[in-house]
Amino acid sequence: MEAVECIATRRSVRRYTDQPVEKETIEKLVHEAQYAPTWKNSQTTRFTAVTGKAVLEQVRAAMPDYNQRSSENAPLLLCVSAVTHRSGYERDGSATTPLGEGYTFFDCGATVQTFCLAAHEAGLATLIMGIFDVDKVRTALNLPESEVPVVIVACGHAADAPQMPKRRATEEVLRIL
């Protein structure tokens, strides 16, 4: 698939079949996500891939009903977390720019988008979910205190082919001076 076609046809999918995603596929997609650029190559994004029934249930229980419904049957819930106070910071711990921790999340977003595009290219669908109970997810996955869970990405085989939600006109978001 051409890069632009992949970018343009990736969609957030909210219906999945229960067909599993193999361990080798998860490893490949996370490896490809690691090609994303990061602040000073700090690479602070971490992935916890949940495929086991019991833990899947615990993660789902931390999500609001609509996200539980949207990710129902998805065989993989990928918790994407970020190591804090590295990206955007100096070695002495001071923030390099006024955006401070913002670059942690910038890097995480670029990495997640790269994952979603790699998954799309591999014939898999994704849904990024930002709304969940952070403490419940932290406990269920035993995440270290040095990381903050940022999004949960549902991933699997699509059972739906949604239309693209309308984008703003480019003139509205672009200034050329």
Ligand X SMILES: Cc1cc2nc3c(=O)[nH]c(=O)nc-3n(C[C@H](O)[C@H](O)[C@H](O)COP(=O)(O)O)c2cc1C
- Which spans of this chain sit near ligand X (rule: CB under 6 A)? 11-12, 67, 70, 127-131, 151, 164-165
Residue 38 or 70: the one with the smaller Cβ distance to ligand X is 70
Judge whether 47 and 79 are in contact, CB under 8 Å.
Answer: yes
The nearer residue to ligand X, 11 or 60, going by C-beta atoms, is 11
Q: How far apart are CA 96 and CA 87, in angstroms?
A: 9
Q: Which residue's CB is nearer to ligand X, number 30 or number 154?
A: 154
Closest residue (Cβ) to ligand X? 130
What is the nearest approach in angstroms of ligand X to the Cβ of residue 85? 21
What would the DSSP string read from start to end of 16-60?
B------HHHHHHHHHHHTTS--GGG---EEEEEE-SHHHHHHHH
Least distance (Å) from ligand X to the CB of residue 14? 6
